[in-house]
Amino acid sequence: MRPVTTVTKTSRSRSLQDRLKALSKQAVYVGIPTTTAQDRDAQLIKIASGSKNKKRRGRAATVFVANDINNAEALYLFSKGSPATRQPPRPVIEPAISAPENAKAISYEIAQASKTFLNGDATEANKRLKRAGIAGSNASKRWFTDSRNGWAPNSPLTIALKGSNRPGIDTGAMRAAITYVTKVDS
């Protein structure tokens, strides 16, 4: 009987390429996840109110009330603004994440995740990605009261109705709903 010999050629570069490909599919999303926001449109109901003052009738006679708007839709309207409700845009997620101190902390965690992932430690890499998500969501939540946000103040009417000049903070539900999701994109 003749001995059989097999030669297996392994390449570290192929393993590295596989890890880089897998790393490029990792993603961290910050915001308010929802499925229902995609399934339906936000409904705005126009409520006309009479005004005895003819000068004010055209300006203050129309109020828009949101009906069945979830927190994801509310954050979108808050960030992009709404001409229908005369609400100026007050962006949250993007400027909060890109603010220098916040970006530094988030970038550090993503860099550490990349290093550990390339070294073959997917568990530690996922922990680091979650830390980056936590840092991003916390920065976004703090952005509501951050002096750098540059948001337009509430209108006098809004202040009178709401009782404060803190844009985006009423019940705190929208701000509290901001979170992160890590996933593998295909």
Q: What is the pLDDT of residues 66-106, one digit of tens each?
A: 557 888 988 999 999 989 888 999 999 999 999 999 999 99
Residue 49 reports pLDDT greater than 50 = no
Angle at 105 between CA 99 and CA 108, to 5 degrees: 125
6 falls in which pLDDT band (50, 70, 90)? Answer: low
Low-confidence winner among 4-8, 82-86, 140-144 (lowest mean pLDDT)? 4-8
pTM of the prediction?
0.74
Beta bridge partners of 184: 26
| Mean predicted confidence (pLDDT) in 8-34 | 79
Report the C-alpha gap between 21 and 16 in whole angstroms: 9
48 falls in which pLDDT band (50, 70, 90)? Answer: very low
